[in-house]
Structure 1
Amino acid sequence: MDSGFFANLGWTIGALVVLAVNITALIVIPKGRKPTAAMSWLLLIFLLPVVGIVLFLLIGNVRLPKKRRAEQARIDGIIRDRVAAVADEKADPSSWPVWFTRVTEQNEKLTSLPPVGGNRADLIGDYEASITAMAAEIDTAQKYVHVEFFIVSWDKTTEVFFTAMENAVKRGVTVRLLADHVASRKAVDQKKTFAELDRIGVIWSWMLPVQPFQGKYQRPDLRNHRKIVVVDGRTAFVGSQNLIDRSYNTPKNLKRGLKWQELVARVEGPAVAEIDTVFLSDWLVETGVMLDDEQVPAAQLAPAGDLVCQLVPSGPAYETENNLRLFLSLIHGATERVILTSPYFVPDEAMVYAITTACQRGLEVQLFVSEIGDQGMVYHAQRSYYDALLEAGVRIFLYPAPFILHSKHFSIDDDIAVIGSSNMDIRSFSLNMEISMLVRGESFVAQMREVEQAYRDAGRELTLDEWRREPAKATFLDGVARLTSALN
Structure 2
Amino acid sequence: MDGTLLANLIWAIAFFADLAIKVLALIFIPRHRKPTAAMAWLLAIFLIPFVGILLFLLIGNFRLPKKRRDEQARIDSLIKGRAANAGSVIADESTWPRWFQRIAQQNEDLTALPALGGNDATLYGDYQASIDAMAAEIERAQKWVHVEFFIVSWDDTTRRFFSAMEQAVARGVSVRLLADHISSRKMAHSKETFAELDRIGVKWEWMLPVMPFKGKYQRPDLRNHRKIVVVDGRVAFLGSQNLIDRTYNSEKNIKRGLKWQELVTRLTGPVVASVNAVFLSDWLIETGENLLDTEHLPAKDVVASTSADALVCQVVPSGPGYQTENNLRLFLSLIYGATEKVILTSPYFVPDEAMVYAITTACQRGLEVQLFVSEIGDQGLVYHAQRSYYDALLEAGVKIFLYPAPYILHSKHFSIDDDIAVIGSSNMDIRSFSLNMEVSLMVLGESFVAGMREVEQGYRDAGRQLTLEEWKREPGKATFLDGIARLTSAVN
Question: Quick check: TM above 0.5?
Answer: yes
2:408 equivalent to 1:394: no
Contact 2:239 2:264 in 1 (8 A): yes
Distance 2:9 2:222 in 1: 43
Q: How does 1:21-170 map to 2 (within 5 A)?
A: 21-170=21-170
Contact 2:343 2:416 in 1 (8 A): yes
Q: How does 1:29-428 map to 2 (within 5 A)?
A: 29-293=29-293, 294-304=295-305, 305=307, 306-428=310-432
Instruction: Count residues with an aligned counterpart.
Output: 488
AA matched with 1:397: F
Give structure 1 stretches of 5+ with no counterpart. Answer: none
Distance 2:189 2:97 in 1: 50
Distance 2:140 2:351 in 1: 41
Secondary structure at 1:299 match in 2: helix
Distance 2:159 2:442 in 1: 31
Distance 1:159 1:326 in 2: 36
Distance 1:55 1:226 in 2: 26
Secondary structure at 1:216 match in 2: coil
Contact 2:86 2:300 in 1 (8 A): yes
Contact 2:85 2:300 in 1 (8 A): no
Secondary structure at 1:155 match in 2: coil
Distance 1:286 1:165 in 2: 21
TM-score of the aligned structures, taking structure 1 as reference length: 0.99
AA matched with 1:300: D
Distance 2:376 2:2 in 1: 62
Distance 1:85 1:302 in 2: 15
Distance 2:313 2:41 in 1: 39
Distance 2:54 2:24 in 1: 14
Shift of 1:292: 1.1
Distance 1:315 1:3 in 2: 54
Distance 1:344 1:91 in 2: 33
AA matched with 1:476: F
Distance 1:6 1:84 in 2: 71
Contact 2:89 2:118 in 1 (8 A): no
Alignment-derived partner of residue 466 in structure 2: 462
AA matched with 1:485: S
Shift of 1:172: 1.1
Shift of 1:486: 0.7
Secondary structure at 1:433 match in 2: strand
Shift of 1:3: 4.7
AA matched with 2:168: A
Give structure 2 stretches of 5+ with no counterpart. Answer: none
Q: Deviations along 1:322-375, whole A, 9 cap, x unmatched?
A: 000000000000000000000000000000000000000000000000000000
Distance 2:245 2:172 in 1: 28
Q: Deviations along 1:416-462, whole A, 9 cap, x unmatched?
A: 00000000001100000000000000000000000000000000000
AA matched with 1:487: V
Shift of 1:4: 4.3
Distance 1:145 1:422 in 2: 23
Q: Which moved more, 1:152-161 or 1:291-300?
A: 291-300
Distance 2:58 2:344 in 1: 33
Counting aligned pairs with the same residue, the percent is: 75
Distance 2:86 2:409 in 1: 40
Distance 1:3 1:209 in 2: 49
Distance 1:11 1:260 in 2: 53
2:447 equivalent to 1:443: yes
Q: Deviations along 1:17-51, whole A, 9 cap, x unmatched?
A: 21111110001111111011100000000000111
Distance 2:174 2:390 in 1: 48
Shift of 1:85: 3.2
Shift of 1:2: 5.6
Alignment-derived partner of residue 437 in structure 2: 433
Distance 1:422 1:474 in 2: 27
Shift of 1:302: 1.5
Secondary structure at 1:359 match in 2: helix
AA matched with 2:223: R
Secondary structure at 2:167 match in 1: helix
Shift of 1:82: 1.3
